Structure 1
Amino acid sequence: MRAVRWVVMLAISYPILLLAVGALFLLATWLPMALRSLPLSLPILCLAAGYGLSFTSLIRLTTAPLGGSSLGERANELIVVIALMGAGLRLDRRFGLKRWASAWRLLLVAMPLTIVGLLLLGHFALGFGWPASLLLAAALAPTDPVLAADVQTGPPGAGDDGETRFGLTAEAGLNDGLALPFILLALTLQKGTVSYGQWMAADLVGDLLIGLVTGLVVGRSVGVLLFKLPAMKLSDTGDGLAAIGATLLCYAITTLLHGNGFVAVFVSAIAIRSTAPEDQFHVTMAEFASQVERVLVMLILLILGWGLGSGLLRSITPMAIAVALGLIFVLRPAAAMLGFVGSGKTRLSRILMAFFGIRGIGTLYYLQYAFNRQAFAERDEIWAVCATAITASVILHGILSTPAMAHADATRDRLAKQPEEDVAAAGQPGAGTTE
């Protein structure tokens, strides 16, 4: 019944509901084009609109829209997995340890350092218990694959768009899956039944391996169905709905096998992309996934904005604000810059990858996942810190992403036009690498 009440949450008539949904679809189509040349983003407007609606009687939620509904958890889960499929399909750079060096540094150095930093801040600065501190750290550490679209690579076949966009896209595709084991560890710590050996073997290594293998097998199989069948290739239909089908199929199979579904979906997208990589159907699938994701994101951010004006921040404190802003301005950038020591990447590329560690829908999902399974005394405080971090990220990164990435793209194009010897003579750090 709680889920039903959450669905029927608009205290307005059915025609008005249809009007609102229709307007939402049209805005999802038109606003990205209208905002293209402005230092604004669709998430900023949705968040602001939801916040404004919280002071009206148009929306009256009967339950907590963010923390008390399994339907809300599933909605955010769906958005994340669709975003992961879209991110994987957009990557033109072939998989490889050296070719993906930027992603490995962000995933294996920057993200663990961010988790450790937030863990210590949660315990010593905010006074949380260790399980709650770990939950806060694991929920906020990953870069979001949903709201980071403005700093990620372009459509399939457009090139990898330089080191900055590639690194942020690959990181966002994998770090949600790597954060999940630490969410599970926080839950087991809260229960008081943790066995670190069992967690390492099952939740960390085991789940990741199942996710990797399942994603590869499903991705290869779907790739054959799409591009390799002699007479009935699914790509001949031109229907981008195949991307959603592949996403749900892979995620469901991996979940049934008790594997890491986020890793599986991203790996499957990479495997599908490597099958007939020049086929234009990849563009169709990526665009359809992006359209579905965009509509769902608008709805979730409207609800989040409503929550901001309806008590979600009631437990916020000056120290909590400092931790949230410290993550964006200090902790994530410092951790990423440490990860790029000795990498040879250009200074601009390192700075941009360090700064644009965007927080968003993934954080909402992890908090809902945890709070729907285990009670935490620090629940309201965790929500307040995370909501503050997401809001600050949406506004700050939303305003800066367009000019910053335009500068990075222009720099990359300029360096690409220079003869190789001129670049070396100019003393560019990491000569030969692009922004």
Structure 2
Amino acid sequence: MEHLIDANFVYLLIGLALLIAVVLPAALRTVALSPPVVLLALGALMGLLPLPDAAQLKPIEDRAVLEHLTELTVIISLMGVGLALDRPLNIRSWASWQRWGATWRLLAIGMPLAIATTAWLGWWVLGLAPASAILLGAALAPTDPVLASDVQVEGPTTDEADEEKIDERDEVRFALTSEAGLNDGMAFPFVHLAILVAGATTLGDWGPTWFAWDLVGMVVVGVVIGMLTGWALARAAFRSRRPSIRTAETGEPLLALAAVLLSYGLAQVAHGYGFLAVFACAMTLRSMERSADYHALMHQVVERLERLLTLIVLLVLGVAMTNGLLGSLSWRGAALGIGLVLVVRPVTAWLALRIGAGVRTREGEKGLGRRERLATAFFGIRGIGSIYYLAYATGAEEFSDVDTLWSTVAFVIAVSVVLHGVTATPVMRWLDDRRATVEN
């Protein structure tokens, strides 16, 4: 009977939370407060209640459950991000690569700088072992595709007859969205680096293999598998000779979920990076028949599932934060977390974006202006991906100071959710107004 009461109590709490999640986006649309802030606060308040054990998911003890929950949340989000982007990426066109210039600079320059700086601070300020410091830097490096909806593109444009004219107008939202879609996978080599260092092997044993396979090979495998999967599914959905297979005509949006699991599963089996495979699959799907309404249908299904999974993760995190997850957080860890959000990410991202800022593409577009670079550098939202990387790595190898890692990462996520959640609406509205004024 006691177990039944516990289960019913959990159902009641989840039902109330889900009801709040359903009404929050519309209710907060014009308020400088994002739904993740409210959900995290709600979870923290729930954690102060005398909850039964069934309602509490502890990150360290329940690491495997949390790993798979956040893993599913991230890959669902990556499919949504890939489907939402309107700007095409033609791998055979240099001009197309140039138009993604801000994204490449954030990935190739900004993220490694952020990882190195955070790892160094973890070693110097927190006294972490080298492996733990590298893991801290890798886990907190990627921006989050799940919690950054307020500063990302809204969804695919499908109402224009000319596919060539479908593109992103907002450079800030495009840069943040494309960065979030790619850097979750690009952080994986550095997570593997932390695991290898924790294994106490010599550099000569794993150095060349890590560089050739973890840093290069697995990236290539993930991207290629994602593109091939997306191409095959797009051909079937839009151009199959069998009407029953052309899901674009029947309007069956669950193809998007099939694409998520197929691309991710194939990449993981082939030992490639599944996160990159999902994003590449979504981008390839989006590239075919770009003006078709089917893309919007698939995006809506993915978006709703992402919202549900995000609700669960944020509630779990909030409950854990008021039930001891922050118990190992020192003032040094708090200072490092605040410094990461307010200094490390903005400075490293601004430096990356500043390089080549004045270069124009062949179409004469200059890209991000000074204010837009500052906004893009500031909104480096940390979130669910960081939880996944930490859960994954601590399950693969023994790390010292695990409690400190969890406390620090949870604190950084909380600071990022609150700070960026409060500032996103007014900042993006200000940028939108300025762009509208310039265009008029």
| Global fold match (TM > 0.5) | yes
Matched, 1:107 2:107: yes
Matched-pair contact (CA < 8 Å) for 2:32–2:422: yes
Aligned match of 1:343: 357
What 5-or-longer segments of structure 2 have no aligned partner? 90-95, 159-166, 359-367
What 5-or-longer segments of structure 1 have no aligned partner? 1-8, 418-435
Matched-pair contact (CA < 8 Å) for 2:191–2:389: yes
One of 71, 74, 87 as aligned partner of 2:65? 71
Aligned partners of 1:392 and 1:161: how far apart in 2? 30
Count residues with an aligned counterpart.
409
Aligned partners of 2:100 and 2:61: how far apart in 1? 39
Corresponding letter in the other structure for 1:36 = R
Aligned partners of 1:10 and 1:346: how far apart in 2? 58
**For the structure 1 residues 175 and 10, does the alpha-carbon distance in structure 2 shift closer, same or farther, using more than 3 Å as the test?**
farther
TM-superposed CA distance for 1:253, in Å, is 0.5
Aligned partners of 1:137 and 1:56: how far apart in 2? 34
TM-superposed CA distance for 1:254, in Å, is 0.5
Instruction: Map 1:129-144 to 2 at 5 A.
Output: 129-144=129-144
Aligned match of 1:261: 274
1:33-91 Cα shifts (integer Å, max 9, x gaps): 01101111111111111111111123435875223331211110000001000001010
Corresponding letter in the other structure for 1:396 = L
Point out the more displaced range, 223-232 or 389-398. Answer: 223-232
Instruction: Map 1:179-328 to 2 at 5 A.
Output: 179-193=187-201, 195-230=206-241, 231-232=243-244, 233-328=246-341
TM-superposed CA distance for 1:235, in Å, is 1.5
Matched-pair contact (CA < 8 Å) for 2:56–2:319: no
Aligned match of 2:78: 84
One of 387, 403, 420 as aligned partner of 1:380? 403
**For the structure 1 residues 58 and 416, does the alpha-carbon distance in structure 2 shift closer, same or farther, using more than 3 Å as the test?**
same
Aligned partners of 1:140 and 1:147: how far apart in 2? 14
Matched-pair contact (CA < 8 Å) for 1:156–1:283: yes
Aligned Cα root-mean-square deviation (Å): 1.7
Aligned match of 1:176: 184
Aligned match of 1:427: none
Aligned match of 2:43: 50
Aligned partners of 1:17 and 1:126: how far apart in 2? 37
Instruction: Map 1:108-123 to 2 at 5 A.
Output: 108-123=108-123
Matched-pair contact (CA < 8 Å) for 1:10–1:58: no
Aligned match of 2:125: 125
Aligned partners of 1:90 and 1:182: how far apart in 2? 28
1:73-128 Cα shifts (integer Å, max 9, x gaps): 11100000010000010100111211101101111111111011001101111111
Aligned match of 1:420: none
Aligned partners of 2:428 and 2:253: how far apart in 1? 28
1:120-140 Cα shifts (integer Å, max 9, x gaps): 101111111111000000000
Corresponding letter in the other structure for 1:284 = L
Aligned partners of 2:61 and 2:121: how far apart in 1? 26
**For the structure 1 residues 364 and 12, does the alpha-carbon distance in structure 2 shift closer, same or farther, using more than 3 Å as the test?**
farther
Matched-pair contact (CA < 8 Å) for 1:154–1:161: no
SS in 1 for 2:323: coil
Aligned partners of 2:105 and 2:408: how far apart in 1? 27
**For the structure 1 residues 10 and 386, does the alpha-carbon distance in structure 2 shift closer, same or farther, using more than 3 Å as the test?**
farther
Point out the more displaced range, 97-106 or 185-194. Answer: 185-194
SS in 2 for 1:320: helix
Aligned partners of 2:107 and 2:147: how far apart in 1? 18
TM-superposed CA distance for 1:10, in Å, is 8.6
**For the structure 1 residues 202 and 373, does the alpha-carbon distance in structure 2 shift closer, same or farther, using more than 3 Å as the test?**
same
TM-superposed CA distance for 1:337, in Å, is 1.0
TM-superposed CA distance for 1:241, in Å, is 1.8
SS in 1 for 2:53: coil
Matched-pair contact (CA < 8 Å) for 1:183–1:370: yes
Aligned match of 1:423: none
**For the structure 1 residues 63 and 200, does the alpha-carbon distance in structure 2 shift closer, same or farther, using more than 3 Å as the test?**
farther
One of 356, 360, 366 as aligned partner of 2:383? 360
Matched-pair contact (CA < 8 Å) for 1:51–1:302: yes
Matched-pair contact (CA < 8 Å) for 1:142–1:359: yes
TM-score normalised over the length of structure 2: 0.90
Corresponding letter in the other structure for 2:117 = G
Corresponding letter in the other structure for 1:28 = A
Matched-pair contact (CA < 8 Å) for 2:114–2:348: yes
Aligned partners of 1:413 and 1:273: how far apart in 2? 27
One of 23, 39, 43 as aligned partner of 2:16? 23
Aligned partners of 2:56 and 2:310: how far apart in 1? 20
1:188-223 Cα shifts (integer Å, max 9, x gaps): 110112511011111111100100110110010111
Aligned partners of 1:59 and 1:110: how far apart in 2? 43
Aligned partners of 1:281 and 1:21: how far apart in 2? 32
Matched-pair contact (CA < 8 Å) for 1:161–1:409: no
SS in 2 for 1:353: helix
SS in 2 for 1:311: helix
1:235-256 Cα shifts (integer Å, max 9, x gaps): 2232322211110110001101
**For the structure 1 residues 311 and 25, does the alpha-carbon distance in structure 2 shift closer, same or farther, using more than 3 Å as the test?**
closer
Aligned match of 1:393: 416
Matched-pair contact (CA < 8 Å) for 2:56–2:316: no
Aligned partners of 1:137 and 1:114: how far apart in 2? 7
TM-superposed CA distance for 1:19, in Å, is 3.6
Matched-pair contact (CA < 8 Å) for 2:82–2:283: yes
**For the structure 1 residues 101 and 181, does the alpha-carbon distance in structure 2 shift closer, same or farther, using more than 3 Å as the test?**
same
Aligned partners of 1:222 and 1:300: how far apart in 2? 30
Aligned partners of 1:161 and 1:369: how far apart in 2? 37
SS in 2 for 1:43: helix
